[in-house]
Structure 1
């Protein structure tokens, strides 16, 4: 039989990429921006935008109401609440936002096993962890700082004292920045423990609510029995009371502890060290988690 001579090789134009190599920094920035946008549902389906946008609006509406009340009260010279009080008062909204968006940020990558695909590109484990951590902290900071900005602008429009309002606004920003770093780290660690988003949501809620309930109950019992010594130390065992105690000690905030007395300056240093330790520990835990998940 004669050989088939009809076979031909066609040049279909495949060629190697000869454009710019943007490298790790570009990949890290892209992962950060996409994760930050994703926290508010941007670039995702319309259904994904509903909850974060509702929570953002609910977070801002009370600030608008406070500004309207302050402006319309004759003789008012300050806002009804301090800037440092706002995030603590609206903590439930912060919990819901973190519990819904931290698993969205990391659990899906674990569930669908896309983490090794990230690491197959010019991006390393530290880039992934830093980008995810920074994006979640930035999303929380936007959520908690925007109402403070609304209050500050409203106070200036009402012609309240500029120096006093700016000082309070700055103290509030420091408080919510630490809150965002602390809560984001803890939330991402809990969410990264499981590829199941529902389990991640429950874990984040439990981490934030159970210690707070226990600490509040013990503080209440201690106050009612006249044994007020342990109250300031009990605040070390809950994320939100850590922030409350720190801003009471150093940022001129009004404490929500029983009796309204927060930790002293010396104990406040312990609060700061615990917060910084939890932030660093959360980062280390995420690095350890993705050492295995990246395989």
Structure 2
């Protein structure tokens, strides 16, 4: 390419207009950016807008949840008239029974939600402007909680529709359905916070998956085992307090104390109202603590 020679003594610096124009459109601000990040993260939790391979696992797990609910409904509808007056599995118990599926979904999707931004060092780009650290954490937290709520509430809708189809008592089923929605909403927020904290500790997705599985599945197995041992040793008073050390048993204790659920603890000895308050306070503390840890984590990586 030919170059123009600069005359001796002339200033060699020049400003070339290469055609870029200043953006003069509307600036939608933080609220729009937060909503966009929330929407993108929620879609990504089900593989929408991503590759076909990314859709396989979340869609399969969602299908498993709905399919199990459909099978329960089929059993209730096919039963001879008068032999069943309620669903074989209650609304509040469904998520507890299907907790391995929920844990697997969270272990797969929580790292996807936050680990890629950490691994590719994209977080500072979010914080350049107009979004702030609080907006990022709220959007990711809200998206993960919403994704879990969709996963756990959709089968309850199937159960409710099936119960009405089987002509079970409308008032009783509506009350149970409402209690189930409250339970899975609390579960979704708690699990989302814990899952994102575990996933945000490392940019490596594999480590995040292992950490989430350890916190949810291993803790539940350990607590259930110790509870069973305590029950066989007739230490029934310790059974309800041991439930404080696993996220799943925490939700089980809260819904037993306040939502009329049948306890899944050994011997059916769930927490009473007094212990239920402690369970609820621990759940709220874990949610608030998860948010605080995420804010602290992104204060460092956002620099």
The equivalences for 1:1-295 within 5 A come to 13-74=19-80, 75=82, 76-295=84-303
* 1:228-267 Cα shifts (integer Å, max 9, x gaps): 1100000000000000011011111111100012001110
Change (3 A) 1:3 1:258: closer
Q: What is the rounded CA distance, in whole Å, between the counterparts of 1:258 and 1:213 in structure 2?
A: 13
Cα offset, 1:224, TM superposition: 0.6
- Between 1:149-158 and 1:8-17, the stretch displaced more is 8-17
In structure 2, runs of 5+ residues without a counterpart are 8-13
Q: What is the rounded CA distance, in whole Å, between the counterparts of 1:143 and 1:255 in structure 2?
A: 23
2:44–2:113 CA contact under 8 A, matched in 1:
yes
RMSD: 1.7
2:70–2:159 CA contact under 8 A, matched in 1:
yes
Cα offset, 1:121, TM superposition: 2.2
Q: What is the rounded CA distance, in whole Å, between the counterparts of 1:177 and 1:152 in structure 2?
A: 16
Cα offset, 1:77, TM superposition: 2.1
2:160–2:177 CA contact under 8 A, matched in 1:
yes
In structure 1, runs of 5+ residues without a counterpart are none
* 1:47-66 Cα shifts (integer Å, max 9, x gaps): 00000000000111110011
Q: What is the rounded CA distance, in whole Å, between the counterparts of 1:243 and 1:92 in structure 2?
A: 14
* 1:62-117 Cα shifts (integer Å, max 9, x gaps): 10011111111121221111100000000000000000000000011001000001
Q: What is the rounded CA distance, in whole Å, between the counterparts of 1:161 and 1:87 in structure 2?
A: 22
Off by >2 Å, runs of 4+ in structure 1: 2-5, 8-14
2:164–2:170 CA contact under 8 A, matched in 1:
yes
Q: What is the rounded CA distance, in whole Å, between the counterparts of 1:292 and 1:10 in structure 2?
A: 39
* 1:181-235 Cα shifts (integer Å, max 9, x gaps): 0000000000000000000000000011222122111111111111111000000
Secondary structure, counterpart of 1:283 in structure 2: helix
2:100–2:217 CA contact under 8 A, matched in 1:
no
TM-score, normalised to structure 2, is: 0.94
* 1:113-170 Cα shifts (integer Å, max 9, x gaps): 0000101120000000000000000000000000000000111122211111110000
